[in-house]
Chains A and B, each alone.
Chain A
């Protein structure tokens, strides 16, 4: 099992460009998440999908959109990238959204916006 995979691993964008970060999991999990991590900080939740067909905002959703394409895939889109969105983006998945559900993380996408 690959677990949680993310593409691309690295990306450089210019201000105003758009891009989509891809995430897939092969653990048959119901729930998926997108986090961002700024230098020296902990992770902050951008959006999550409790189950296929649903998405909800997290702590820092402004400037992002998400799509739960199917049970396996959850994408994050930046419509008009800004330098403040320079960060490392992590996707995660879990069986459910309860307090005991362990979240499994991907390796991250390192995004720089110039």
Chain B
């Protein structure tokens, strides 16, 4: 299975943009890139997903490199409530295990006032 690599931690100031990177150099053509986040003492929640094109929703934007070997989750204006662990997860459209959410260690985002 293709793996993802994320920095252990990042820090941001409140109200500034945050760019969370994810490397997935062995991604296959049918792997979708999903992002979930986990706020302190809560269960994970879905953030965004994409295949090739950049994606936007009310929570964040996802920028995918042209070769798809890396992607970046963008929080346009970080708030204190965005302090969480962010997980970059690949899900295959071409296998019976598409349900699988393979959580790694993620990136712990600290937001300071």
Chain A interface residues toward B at CB < 8 A: 4, 31, 33, 40-45, 48, 50, 90, 92, 94, 97-108
Given A97-B98, A99-B32: A107 and B42 interface contact (C-beta under 8 Å): yes
Choose one: A48, A50, A92, A100; the contact of B43 (CB below 8 Å). A92
Q: Identify whether the interface residues of B are mostly helix, strand, loop, or mixed.
A: loop
Residue B92 is within 8 A (CB to CB) of chain A in the complex: yes
Instruction: Find out whether the CB atom of B32 lies under 8 angstroms from the CB atom of A105.
Output: no
Size of the B side of the interface (Cβ < 8 Å), in residues, is: 21
Q: Which residues of B contact A100 (CB under 8 A)?
A: 32, 49, 91, 93
Given A99-B32, A100-B32: A108 and B43 interface contact (C-beta under 8 Å): yes
A103 to chain B, nearest CB (A): 6
Which of B18-26, B64-72, B99-107 is the contact stretch?
B99-107
CA distance A98 to B95 in the complex (A): 9
B88 to chain A, nearest CB (A): 11
Residue B45 is within 8 A (CB to CB) of chain A in the complex: yes
Instruction: Find out whether the CB atom of A103 lies under 8 angstroms from the CB atom of B91.
Output: no
Chain B interface residues toward A at CB < 8 A: 32, 41-46, 49, 87, 91-93, 98-106
Instruction: Find out whether the CB atom of A43 lies under 8 angstroms from the CB atom of B44.
Output: yes
User: In the complex, which of the residues B101, B103, B105, B106 has the most CB atoms of chain A within 10 Å of its own CB atom?
Assistant: B101
Given A94-B99, A108-B42: A42 and B104 interface contact (C-beta under 8 Å): yes
Choose one: A4, A98, A108; the contact of B99 (CB below 8 Å). A98
Given A106-B43, A107-B42, A108-B42: A42 and B99 interface contact (C-beta under 8 Å): no
B106 to chain A, nearest CB (A): 6
Kindly report which residue of chain B lies nearest to residue A106, judged by CB atoms: B43
Instruction: Find out whether the CB atom of B43 lies under 8 angstroms from the CB atom of A90.
Output: yes
CA distance A31 to B100 in the complex (A): 12
Instruction: Find out whether the CB atom of A45 lies under 8 angstroms from the CB atom of B44.
Output: no
Kindly report which residue of chain A lies nearest to residue B87, judged by CB atoms: A42
Q: Which residues of A contact B101 (CB under 8 A)?
A: 43, 45, 103
Kindly report which residue of chain B lies nearest to residue A48, judged by CB atoms: B99
Instruction: Find out whether the CB atom of A45 lies under 8 angstroms from the CB atom of B42.
Output: no
Q: Which residues of A contact B98 (CB under 8 A)?
A: 97-99
